[in-house]
Amino acid sequence: MITPVIGTKGSAGLTVSAGDLAVNIGSGSLEVFATPVMTMLMEKAACNCIQQFLEGDETTVGTELAVKHTSATPEGMKVTAEAVLTEVNGRELIFEVSAADEAGPIGCGTHHRFLVFGEKFTAKTKSKLK
């Protein structure tokens, strides 16, 4: 891995569709943007943030996510998540994450990812099936 630069930012976005609503993914009963989809977008932003520093078979996996979902978003609105690399501890990468819709902030928190080698990690995971 190329040494990551603290302060590097990554983002990811989407327009909220029916498939992103809490009522349709089983995380609630309302037709609002689902928290699990918001956290997925935050993780995607972190992946996009660190991608430029990875080499060869390197990738990262999420290991911890602590977020607050502070405002509801209706179907049809655009949501953007941002991740900022704040700390590197060996192979552990720590990010501040946030999300906003077109009306303002909707969530924030921290996210930890860990550097792994894709083939080795996948093989170890699949060995659980034996």
130 has pLDDT over 90: no
pLDDT, tens only, 82-94: 999 999 999 999 9
User: Over pLDDT 90: what percentage of the chain?
Assistant: 97
Write down the pTM of the prediction: 0.95
Stated as kind and residue range, the H or E segment containing 122 is helix 118-126
CA distances from 63 to 13, 76, 101, 107, 120 (A): 22, 31, 26, 19, 17
Band of residue 75 on the pLDDT scale cut at 50, 70, 90:
very high
Task: Tell me which residue of 27, 25, 111, 30 sits closest to 68, measured CA to CA.
Answer: 111
User: How far, in Å, CA of 40 to CA of 37, rounded?
Assistant: 5
Q: Report the 3 state secondary structure along 32-72.
A: CECHHHHHHHHHHHHHHHHHHHCCCCEEEEEEEEEEEECCC
pLDDT at 33: 98
pLDDT, tens only, 91-128: 999 999 999 999 999 999 999 999 999 999 999 999 99
Q: What's the whole-number average pLDDT of the chain?
A: 97
pLDDT, tens only, 25-68: 999 999 999 999 999 999 999 999 999 999 999 999 999 999 99
Domain 9-129: assigned CATH number: 3.10.129.10
Residues counted in the chain: 130
Band of residue 1 on the pLDDT scale cut at 50, 70, 90:
confident
pLDDT at 39: 98
Backbone dihedral region for residue 109 (phi beyond 0: left; psi -120 to 50: alpha; all else: beta): left
CA distances from 82 to 11, 22, 64, 76, 127 (A): 4, 21, 16, 20, 35
